[in-house]
Structure 1
Amino acid sequence: MGKASIFKYLLLISLISACMAEIKDLKITSDSRPVILFEKFGFTPRGYVDIAISDVSFSSSRSNVDSSLLGFFLLSDQNLIQAIYESQQEVIHPNPNPNPNPNPSPHGGTFCILFSPYVRPLFTFRDLSQSQANSYNHSFPITHPDEYSLFFANCAEESQVTMSVHTEMYNARSDGSRDYLSVGWLIVPSIYSFFALIYAAFLAVWVYFALWKNRLSAHRIHQIMGALLLAKALNLICAAEDQHYIRVTGTPHGWDVLFYIFQFLKGGLLFTVIILIGTGWSFLKPFLQVREKKVLMIVIPLQVIANIASVVIGETGPFIQNWVTWNQVFLLIDLICCCAIMFPIVWSIRTLRETSKTDGKAARNLAKLTLFRQFYIVLVGYLYFTRIVVYALKTIAAYKFQWVSVAAEETVSLAFYIFMFYMFRPVERNQYFVLDDEEEEAAEAALREEEFEL
């Protein structure tokens, strides 16, 4: 097994946050990957890993396969750096198999991570039960609390493996029941429930004050903003239920389907609202220009693709061969959408800057310009935090505090929603659009000074 391949897979898990350890039944067919990552989970001192494999077959184009070179192991985050370093060095560990090694290395041995002192080997294919169709079923206790990654290693060169795998990773409670959520995710259902209640109250306030009490000043954009709040609240409710059922039973009981549906609606509506606000639609003009329609036509289909990528990532896990590719697709699409929604705001700022010098209504246009400048700055901060800072928190936070990234993301998202909804709320006399004569004269003077400096 090449050291470069091992290094790539070990480096990959350092960038993955702990997973929800659902009970999973997986099918691997003719797979030749040297290392396969199944799950990552944070354990208490009473943790367990249950593995059951069946219908195992393996073959090699070179010679008979040494079954002790294929097996499952655990790697803790504590030993991750040492394992990565070792995979890059010319370190050869002796094969405990007394039979001759079919894959000798130039150094007189074979580098196989199964024999590394930094991993905890669980079992190899040598332990399979021949009487039960090449099967194995065992539960492994975890006595040292840490975050562990479950791997399958194939150290036999040019060999392919086919097998059915059933995995369960959980912590045992004091009453003997199982907890299928990683340690760092235990309070995440409560976090989602808390923010769902806040958004439900937010929606009630918005419907009463914005859509009913100030209905004469409300525009169509305000109705879409109300739909966004509803989608966000339902998305959080489904996320909380999804996590709750996974924690109790190991399966989401269908809540994951609703979660992905409302996640798509929330994402699509959020980007749509930002684009419509950025173009001034329903505030400054009742129509969209051709270029602005093109942005919407690009962002909405991309949101559909991003939602599909999100489903693949969430439902399959890192064991599938194209999992890294789907991650890259999701990140690329998200980046494109974030860049695309910036353009309408920049266009609005440029248009207002130009018209403020020509139409004789300097104060109103400068006020609108200030409005969109503030919105642009806040939007950039929101996207930067939720895409970069949150990812950094997931990566560097200790496994017991993975919930911090979720709480931080939802807190910043709520702050952004409050800012956006307050700034563009329907009121009869908006401070940005209605100005008195003194403010008009002051703005014109400020504009003349700006032109003189330029």
Structure 2
Amino acid sequence: MMAIYRSIAVVLLLLLSLLSSSSGEIRLNSVSSDSRAIIPFDEFGFTHAGVLVLNVSSISLSDSSDIDLSQLGFFLSTADAWLHVLQQLRDLDVTCALQSDLVKVVYSFDHLDPPSNPSRVAVARSTSFSTSFPITDPGQYTLVFANCLAGLRVSMSVRSAMYNLDPRSPDRRIYLSAGSAVLPFIYSVLFCAYLALGALWIAILLRKRAAVFRIHYFMLAVVALKALNLLAEAEDKSHIERTGSAHGWDVLFYIFSFLKGISLFTLIVLIGTGWSFLKPYLQDREKKVLMVVIPLQVVANIAQVVIDESGPYARDWVTWKQVFLLVDVVCCCAVLFPIVWSIKNLREAARTDGKAAVNLMKLTLFRQYYVVVICYIYFTRVVVYALVTITSYRYLWTSVMAGELATLAFYVFTGYKFRPEVHNPYFVIDDEEEEAAAEALKLDDEFEL
């Protein structure tokens, strides 16, 4: 266990080292000798009163002589418009995305300050610019840099600020995307819900003290970490909404998110094996599952930090996103094995032990828990992502709300089914119940055959 604690401490330091100062909707990104034709930066949901403020400095081109600078520049595009632009490029209707009338050109490099001495273009041309671009057509836009000169490498420092003006107070800037502006309130309400859930669980533990096992205290720790994670996320989003930057709240969010993720998957494994309230130990194969799940959660959290902090402009952003999805799926599959093993072991023992047959019939909650875990994983990993793709950008908060409500329901179900009970109906049986359960098991086996 000490080795696990040391590993977690090392990972926390690694997570902190990965955090950059670009957290929030005011972002500072650096591009170094990049020859990509398209470099996507930030995505934001604008209202009718949206504004993009773009400051670019330290512009450096690998070849700045005799080139058409109108082929370099920034533009805004929606996802639908970009699909049509790609079609235009394939059909050769346009040779550069900046030429398409489907995108909103923010700034092209031919507008850089002209040189004072035409014979010294490479030296005298300006290497920075600032522009403010108002948005009149609401939508979900992505800021993109286009480099339509093959082989040309570009270096620059890009600072972008995206915000919407509050219609009730035009001087107030809202730095959260139109679909995320309500998230601070949602996270605050959910924090209160988990706080109440934790208080209720403490009351149950105090009232049923004689039937409390170690697993019940671990459940309390999982609820506490989830509540702290929501509190940090609420403050993170609230601070970004007001200032455009997280200012350290993202650090707390990543820490609690990391601990919450590890503890939740560990809890599912421990409950699935029946640890503490069925048996005081873990078998070797069950320990191996934990040794697989915990490192995978570490990798998943590191990938999530890289995805959130770097943004799509990073070269390896897509790779890290695929790593996160793959590791998350593997973790979800791994935690199902202990539950399957528990049910299988009880079924095999039931053929030679009458009491085991009774326990199998009485512990139907393991089958229920297995089904619920699968439903929870499917909903939060598939349905929620589907909601993101089909929901309007103004209502992207609904996918967050759906995932959080599913998680809350899962916590409540787990706590209710595995709550401490002095006279637990799943374990306290009499002889008549034992015989009836054994007969029921035989009928069940004959039906399956």
Alignment TM-score, normalising by the size of structure 1:
0.88
* Residues 1:45 and 2:48 aligned together: yes
* Residues 1:217 and 2:217 aligned together: no
Task: State which of 292, 306, 327 in structure 2 corresponds to 1:312.
Answer: 306
Distance 2:197 2:146 in 1: 50
Q: Aligned residue for 1:54?
A: 57
Distance 1:386 1:197 in 2: 21
Percent sequence identity over aligned pairs: 53
Task: State which of 151, 154, 159 in structure 2 corresponds to 1:158.
Answer: 151
Q: Kindly state the Cα deviation for residue 284 of structure 1 after the two structures are TM-superposed.
A: 1.5
Q: 1:245-302, CA deviations, whole angstroms, 9 ceiling, x for partnerless residues?
A: 0000000110000000000010000000000000111122111011110110111111
Task: State which of 32, 35, 52 in structure 2 corresponds to 1:32.
Answer: 35
Q: Aligned residue for 1:275?
A: 269
Distance 2:328 2:341 in 1: 21
Task: State which of 68, 74, 77 in structure 2 corresponds to 1:75.
Answer: 77
Distance 2:362 2:243 in 1: 53
Distance 2:181 2:446 in 1: 61
Q: Aligned residue for 1:8?
A: none
After TM superposition, the structure 1 stretch with the greater mean CA deviation from structure 2, 355-364 or 260-269, is 355-364
Give runs of aligned pairs for residues 47-196 of structure 1, distance below 5 A.
Answer: 47-60=50-63, 64-87=66-89, 89-93=90-94, 111-129=95-113, 133-173=126-166, 174-196=169-191
Distance 1:51 1:447 in 2: 70
Q: How many residues align?
A: 416
Q: 1:212-258, CA deviations, whole angstroms, 9 ceiling, x for partnerless residues?
A: 21121111111111100000000000000000000000001100000
Contact 1:21 1:182 survives alignment (8 Å): no
Task: State which of 326, 336, 342 in structure 2 corresponds to 1:342.
Answer: 336
Structure 2 residue runs without a partner (length 5+): 1-21, 116-123
Distance 2:283 2:26 in 1: 50
Q: Kindly state the Cα deviation for residue 450 of structure 1 after the two structures are TM-superposed.
A: 2.7
Q: Aligned residue for 1:13?
A: none
Contact 1:189 1:244 survives alignment (8 Å): yes
Q: Aligned residue for 2:5?
A: none
Give the alignment's Cα RMSD to 1 decimal. Answer: 1.8
Contact 2:351 2:357 survives alignment (8 Å): no
Q: Kindly state the Cα deviation for residue 433 of structure 1 after the two structures are TM-superposed.
A: 1.8
Contact 1:21 1:169 survives alignment (8 Å): no
Query: What letter matches 1:182 in structure 2?
Result: S
Query: What letter matches 1:160 in structure 2?
Result: R
Q: Kindly state the Cα deviation for residue 114 of structure 1 after the two structures are TM-superposed.
A: 0.9
Distance 1:451 1:144 in 2: 64
Structure 1 residue runs without a partner (length 5+): 1-18, 94-110
Q: Aligned residue for 1:416?
A: 410
Q: Kindly state the Cα deviation for residue 338 of structure 1 after the two structures are TM-superposed.
A: 0.5
Contact 2:23 2:246 survives alignment (8 Å): no
Q: 1:373-403, CA deviations, whole angstroms, 9 ceiling, x for partnerless residues?
A: 1000000000000000001111111001000
Query: What letter matches 1:72 in structure 2?
Result: F
The alignment partner of 1:418 has SS state of helix
Q: Kindly state the Cα deviation for residue 39 of structure 1 after the two structures are TM-superposed.
A: 0.9
Q: 1:273-332, CA deviations, whole angstroms, 9 ceiling, x for partnerless residues?
A: 000000111122111011110110111111111111111111121111111111011111
Distance 2:409 2:181 in 1: 24
The alignment partner of 1:425 has SS state of coil
Give runs of aligned pairs for residues 324-339 of structure 1, distance below 5 A.
Answer: 324-339=318-333
Distance 1:91 1:403 in 2: 39
* Residues 1:286 and 2:280 aligned together: yes
Q: Kindly state the Cα deviation for residue 367 of structure 1 after the two structures are TM-superposed.
A: 3.0
Contact 2:23 2:245 survives alignment (8 Å): no
Q: Kindly state the Cα deviation for residue 120 of structure 1 after the two structures are TM-superposed.
A: 1.1
* Residues 1:400 and 2:403 aligned together: no
* Residues 1:240 and 2:242 aligned together: no
Contact 1:65 1:159 survives alignment (8 Å): no
CA change 1:85–1:432 in 2 (3 A) is: farther
Q: Kindly state the Cα deviation for residue 447 of structure 1 after the two structures are TM-superposed.
A: 1.7
Contact 1:78 1:146 survives alignment (8 Å): no
Distance 1:372 1:354 in 2: 15
The alignment partner of 1:29 has SS state of strand
Contact 1:59 1:65 survives alignment (8 Å): no
Alignment TM-score, normalising by the size of structure 2:
0.89
Query: What letter matches 1:376 in structure 2?
Result: Y
Q: Kindly state the Cα deviation for residue 64 of structure 1 after the two structures are TM-superposed.
A: 4.1
Q: Kindly state the Cα deviation for residue 50 of structure 1 after the two structures are TM-superposed.
A: 0.6
Distance 2:23 2:45 in 1: 10
Q: Aligned residue for 1:360?
A: 354
* Residues 1:259 and 2:253 aligned together: yes
The alignment partner of 1:51 has SS state of strand
